[in-house]
Structure 1
Amino acid sequence: MARSRRTEERALDKDELAFVEKSHHPAIKELADKDLADLIRQLRDRRDKARDVANRQRREMRGKAAPAGAKGASDNTGTKEKLAILAAALKRANKERDRRGEGAVEAA
């Protein structure tokens, strides 16, 4: 399901939002290949971090892990939403990289 930019603004911090905005059309088409590779790396790092936090929070809610803070997690819907947004942005960036690779093969 498509997410609105308002939902992205609500779920992400300032740096993550900047990465996700670069993955939207038309901004992604204006990126150089090196910048696109950097964006993919940064999105992958942020997605992995969000995934790890969501998994930890889920374990805390089930009582399988000790709380990371003073109080255990009671809900992880925000973290799951962040994970989904970052995963979608990474998917868009990977698609753009693949599209550029196919264009180079066709031109040769």
Structure 2
Amino acid sequence: MSASCRFEASILKHDELEIVLSTHHPSIGELTRDKLETLRSRLRDLSEKERTFARHRQREARGKAEPRGGSFSGTAEHATRRKQVFVAAIKRISKEIKRLQKFEAKKELGEAARRALALRRAKQFARPPNDFGSSEGMRSIPSRRRNFRIPPSKIGRVSQANKRAQARRDAR
């Protein structure tokens, strides 16, 4: 389930909110691919941090870990919701990066097809020069296969032998 911008604003700090808001529709289309990659890495760091906090809070609730620092407020659910907001932003950025990659691949494919068509047309309409004069013609290339001369008496001997053997079996 996606979170609304109002929910994101209520759960995130100001600097984190600016990062997450830049992953929403109008502003994500203005970012270059390099900026998207750096933004994704920053969001991954924030998500991992929140995951660590959530796991530690869960361990505290079960009594398996000591409380950690005095500045971390909220419950494990709060950290989990913050992590989910960051993960949703990472997904949006990943989709945008994939979209840009597909666009670039289509563009490169179109350019390659145009180059290939230009080459083909150049080759198709190129005609050999029309020179009038005698030429030697085609060269004869001798065959490298050995010539086998089979005597006419040997032709068909195997099939005739099979025929006779079948006749003997049938006569029994």
User: Would the TM-score normalized by the shorter structure come out above 0.5?
Assistant: yes
Partner of 1:51: 51
- State the secondary structure of the residue aligned to 2:68: coil
Distance 2:48 2:99 in 1: 24
- Paired residues of 1:61 and 1:74 also in contact (CA < 8 A): no
Q: Which has the higher contact order (CA 8 A, sep 6+)?
A: 1
- Paired residues of 1:24 and 1:92 also in contact (CA < 8 A): yes
- State the secondary structure of the residue aligned to 1:3: coil
Instruction: Give the aligned length.
Output: 107
Distance 2:106 2:64 in 1: 52
Partner of 2:117: none
Structure with larger Rg: 2
Higher helix share: 1
Structure 2 residues not aligned, in runs of 5+: 109-172
Partner of 1:23: 23
Q: Aligned AA for 1:37?
A: E
1:74 deviates by: 7.6
Extract structure 1 runs of 4+ deviating beyond 4 A.
none
Alignment root-mean-square deviation, CA: 1.7
- Paired residues of 2:2 and 2:88 also in contact (CA < 8 A): no
Distance 2:34 2:95 in 1: 15
Structure 2 length normalisation: TM-score?
0.59
Partner of 2:102: 102
| Identical positions, percent | 36
Q: Aligned AA for 1:80?
A: T
